[in-house]
Chain A
Amino acid sequence: QVQLVESGGGVVQPGGSLRLSCAASGFTFSSYGMHWVRQAPGKGLEWVAFIRYDGSNKYYADSVKGRFTISRDNSKNTLYLQMNSLRAEDTAVYYCAKDRYEYSSSYAFDIWGQGTMVTVSS
């Protein structure tokens, strides 16, 4: 079945770094754009970043631009989020999500992973 499984979350000090991974299965990963979306504890949803199906274009929320990097390895069916210079306000559950349309950037998220928690605290 179509599945996304995140990993790599944990506790990190302010200013530290973390790399999240999202393993995809059950669909042709290389045909779909992918996103990261986060949710701070008790709060709503915030889109973080997008990467095109072939990795040729990447877009970021202003709140993470210059600090986070989205990437993908289509040979491994895996999406990544490299997070540097982490701040307390980056504390959240991070979800990877699949774009609904092939070879497109519809920004409709039809499949989500279970999420991985990132806590930035000293």
Chain B
Amino acid sequence: DIQMTQSPSSLSASVGDRVTITCRASQSISSYLNWYQQKPGKAPKLLIYAASSLQSGVPSRFSGSGSGTDFTLTISSLQPEDFATYYCQQSYTTPPTFGQGTRLEIK
């Protein structure tokens, strides 16, 4: 199985900050990388698919980049509603696998 490793595991930031979360795959996955946001007690929400495509309805402050093994999720200006846990997920091969999550907390 392809292992997905996110860094950092947790992050404290302030409203208005620019934040970057990194995801690394154990082998090349081309651009088959998706990002999800999950708030406590809620289902995950798709933010970015195919590494850099913004899902419909997701604010443009979210962006994704990368290919091969290294990927990033960037939030350009943090809003109060962005404090959540973020997961990357590879969709290159079965089984699809997720990173361990990055918990974004308010500083």
Residues of A within 8 A of B (CB): 44-47, 50, 59, 61-62, 95, 100, 106-110, 112-115
A61 near B95 with CB under 8 A, answer yes
User: In whole Å, how far is A116's beta carbon from the nearest beta carbon of chain B?
Assistant: 11
Task: Report yes or no: B91 in contact with A110, Cβ–Cβ below 8 A.
Answer: no
Q: Are B98 and A46 in contact (CB under 8 A)?
A: yes
Query: Could you say which residues of chain A place their CB within 8 Å of the CB of B36?
Result: 45, 109
Question: Does B94 lie at the interface of the complex (its beta carbon under 8 Å from any beta carbon of A)?
Answer: yes
For the complex formed, measure the closest distance between the CB of A43 and the CB atoms of chain B, giving whole angstroms.
9
Could you tell me the distance in whole angstroms from the C-beta of B67 to the nearest C-beta in chain A?
16
Partner of A107, one of B38, B43, B96: B96
Q: Is the interface of B mostly helix, strand, loop or mixed?
A: loop
**Does A112 contact B44, Cβ atoms closer than 8 Å?**
yes
**Does B95 lie within 8 Å of A62, measured CB to CB?**
yes
Interface residues of B (CB under 8 A from A): 32, 34, 36, 38, 42-46, 49-50, 55, 87, 89, 91, 94-101
Bound: A44/B99 CA distance, A: 8
**C-alpha gap A54/B101 in the complex (Å):** 33
Complex Cα gap A102–B97 (Å): 21
Contact A100–B46 (Cβ < 8 Å):
yes
Give bound CA distance, A115 to B91, whole Å.
21
Decide: A47 and B44 in contact? CB cutoff 8 A. Answer: no
The 6 A-B residue pairs whose C-beta atoms are closest, nearest first, are A107-B91, A112-B43, A107-B96, A45-B98, A108-B49, A47-B96
Q: Is the CB of B43 within 8 A of A114?
A: yes
Q: Nearest Cβ distance between residue B11 and chain A, in whole angstroms?
A: 16
Determine the chain A residues whose CB is within 8 A of the CB of B97 once the complex forms: 47
A108 touches B100 (CB 8 A): no
CA distance A107 to B89 in the complex (A): 9
Q: A108-B49, A113-B43, A114-B43 are in contact. Are A44 and B100 (CB under 8 A)?
A: yes
Q: How far is the CA of A86 from the CA of B103 in the complex (A)?
A: 30
> From residue B6, how far is it (CB to closest CB) to chain A in Å?
10
